[in-house]
A and B are shown apart, each in its own frame.
Chain A
Amino acid sequence: MDRRKSQLGFLLSAGGIALAFLLPLAPQALPMIDRPLVSTIAVTAGGLFLLAALLADRHAALVGLAGAILAAASSLQLLEDPEIAGSAGIGFWMIVIACWLSVAIVLINLADLRQLRPRTQRAVNLLVPLLFGLTVFYLWEVAVRGLGVPRVLLPPPSAAAARFAGSLPTLASDFTQTFIRGVLIGYAIGCGAGLLVAILAHRYQFLSRGLLPLGNFFSALPLVGVAPIMVMWFGFDWPSKAAVVVLVTFFPMLVNAIAGLSASGHIERDLMRSYAASPRQSLAKLYLPAALPFIFNALKINATLALIGAIVAEFFGTPTQGIGFRISTEAGRMALDMVWAEIALAALAGMAFYGCVTLAERATTFWHPSYRT
């Protein structure tokens, strides 16, 4: 983005703040002038926008960002007034628009930065998506509270966060029930069994030629559908969830591991042969290490599938805890803030799980070309 455009954008943001002082905040609310705290913050934000427009260089992004944060703070402070929340007028939205516009310009400028030092580059790479996400949450919060969207439809993120913080014991018990018992146990059994069968299939060609098409077929099926059957067989508690997870994770692991075990090159195999390596030795020293990237690929796919499988299986019947159980009952009671808190929990668990698998992959397949830079 060129200088002119970002200068114009920051000027418009400052203009938005100025308009907020002239236009009504809400039909029956006090004007900005009569709110000393908010107007100080807003004036500072406007001043920072002007400064950013004046500078229009690398530092402008930081100054603009500070202004945007202050503008966001002032709009959130305004929402504390019950006169404004739910019936916000055009003046209020001017602040929100100013904030959004300035963040957009900052983002565009940051994303355009090139040829930085590696450390700065990494920080920028982290900052850009973080800012984007924060802006989305901010707009969600302001829109829901400013427009007065009923809480049963869409709660503001702050309500979900408060609920999350306020019901940690429930969330912890749900987490152990679904994740530690259902997902982890099922995941270990399913992936382990898949790997074992793949090793067998690698030894006996006949088995592999028969299993591969079947494995491909089964891994494309909507296997979560077996959840009700597993609930019938293994009861309401976690074994049925673990069983679903076993089934869901088995086939991707099988298919990937079979592909991985045949990934080693002819030259390496010949080398093992010329060393007179026993089948077990060549498995441990050649085939399994060569298959690791494929195995980790399956482990990553399965990390998501396992969580989905366990949660869906809980829709078919659970003891009175578990993420899926809580989501379906609280959604039925229209307590959507609790539902969002559970979803945040599931998301955090899913990301942490995936992250752990990725870390393990980095630690064990450091030799692979994709990591050797």
Chain B
Amino acid sequence: MTSSSLAPPARVPLLLRFGVVERYTPVATMVLALIAIWYVASVAMNWTLVRDGFEREETPYTFSDVLAGTMEAERPLLPAPHQVINAFVDGVFGYSPLAPRSLIYHSLVTLSATVLGFVLGALFGIALALLIVHSRVLERSLLPWIICSQMVPVLALAPIFIVVLGALGLQGLLPKSIISAYLCFFPIAIGMVKGFTSPDPLQIELMRTWSATPRQVLWKLRWPASVPYLFASLKVAITISLVGAIVAELPTGGEAGIGARLLSGSYYGQTVQLWAALVAAAVLASSLIALVGLAERGVNSRMGGH
């Protein structure tokens, strides 16, 4: 007997009985509410700005003039949602993909650093986890440091890396991806140590009774058992990798990339451009996570899961 079975059957409105509607109504409501709040906030925050503009030009203005002005100010404090969407769409489709004003171009620059860094970091993290799992010495001497270093704001190292690698003659893609890799190898290493040690003692003993070599234990037991942990940590790592790539573009002064776009937007007060770059970063992040999720589903179905 549980409280859910004790409770009187709740009255569900007719519309909400359809699965799709029931599932998406709350989210849609929240999104709409957010957009509404955004519009109100942008009116409120841009109000004085626009009114001062009218007064400086000494043109007569009415309430509705100012209201309309807050919706399409050139350098608003908070651009209205449609302005951001317009700027985003314009940035994506308005220019040829390789023009320096195109968001696709900047996204590609950031994306390449992100992906390269992600791959490097994932490989390094998995290799480290393998070493740690197979060596008691490393487990006891290195693992505490790895855990400690998770509490350190590693991102603070980004400018140093850029400066040092720049002095060594490395510029462009590689320093950024090294920062990304450095940021994202921690969650992968930790997750994979958990994953590699996740098989039961019973299963490991079974492998021993079959006199399996350590390599066979790795490929036939530990590796398959660690797949859920692998994908969970990959999802965390890919967003961190993106953050790393964006932040790494800041101290270089940034010729290209989403981070550079953010920096120049903040220097020149181009708020709409700044918000459009943020939207691009959000789209990039969610599509990268979706890609990892797709890969996870593919691997799971190949492994006979669901």
Q: Does A199 contact B (CB under 8 A)?
A: no
- A224 vs B142: C-alpha distance when bound (angstroms): 30
Chain A residues lying within 8 Å of B211, measured Cβ to Cβ, are: none
Is the contact region of chain A dominated by helix, strand, or loop, or is it mixed? helix
Interface size class of A (residues with CB under 8 A): 35 or more
Contacting pair A232 B77 (CB below 8 A): yes
Q: Does A133 contact B (CB under 8 A)?
A: yes
* A315 with B251, Cβ < 8 A, contacts A132-B141, A210-B26 known: yes
Chain A residues lying within 8 Å of B29, measured Cβ to Cβ, are: 206, 210
Contact of A342 among B156, B168, B262 (CB under 8 A): B156
Contacting pair A346 B151 (CB below 8 A): no
Chain A residues lying within 8 Å of B155, measured Cβ to Cβ, are: 308, 311-312
Is the contact region of chain B dominated by helix, strand, or loop, or is it mixed? helix
Contact of B266 among A224, A311, A316 (CB under 8 A): A316
Contact bitstring A331-370, B, C-beta under 8 A = 1, else 0: 1101010011011001100110110000000000000000
Contact of B152 among A154, A227, A273, A347 (CB under 8 A): A347
Q: Does B164 contact A (CB under 8 A)?
A: yes
Contacting pair B282 A221 (CB below 8 A): yes
- A14 vs B4: C-alpha distance when bound (angstroms): 74
Contact of B262 among A225, A266, A304, A332 (CB under 8 A): A225
Contacting pair A129 B246 (CB below 8 A): no
Contacting pair A209 B26 (CB below 8 A): yes
Contact bitstring B141-161, A, C-beta under 8 A = 1, else 0: 111110010111111110110
Chain B residues lying within 8 Å of A152, measured Cβ to Cβ, are: 167
Contacting pair B136 A350 (CB below 8 A): no
Contact of A350 among B144, B152, B164, B281 (CB under 8 A): B152
Chain B residues lying within 8 Å of A232, measured Cβ to Cβ, are: 77, 266, 269, 271
Chain B residues lying within 8 Å of A62, measured Cβ to Cβ, are: none
Q: Does B163 contact A (CB under 8 A)?
A: yes
**Across the two chains, which residue of chain A brings its CB closest to B236?**
A220
Q: Which chain A residues in 125-157 approach chain B with CB under 8 Å?
A: 125, 128-129, 131-133, 152-154
Q: Which chain A residues in 220-255 approach chain B with CB under 8 Å?
A: 220-222, 224-229, 231-233
Q: Does B184 contact A (CB under 8 A)?
A: no
Contact bitstring A94-119, B, C-beta under 8 A = 1, else 0: 00000000000001100110000000
Q: Does A67 contact B (CB under 8 A)?
A: no
Contacting pair A111 B141 (CB below 8 A): yes
- A221 vs B30: C-alpha distance when bound (angstroms): 18
Contact bitstring A285-323, B, C-beta under 8 A = 1, else 0: 000000000000000000110011001100111000001
Q: Does B80 contact A (CB under 8 A)?
A: no
Chain A residues lying within 8 Å of B4, measured Cβ to Cβ, are: 266
Known: A228-B265, A351-B152. 8 other contacts (CB 8 A): A206-B26, A210-B26, A220-B289, A221-B285, A225-B278, A231-B266, A308-B153, A350-B153
Q: Which 7 A-B pairs have the closest CB atoms?
A: A228-B266, A210-B26, A132-B141, A210-B30, A209-B26, A129-B144, A266-B2
Cβ contacts A to B, 13 pairs, < 8 Å: A129-B142, A153-B167, A210-B30, A214-B34, A217-B286, A220-B286, A231-B266, A266-B4, A303-B151, A307-B153, A308-B155, A312-B155, A351-B148
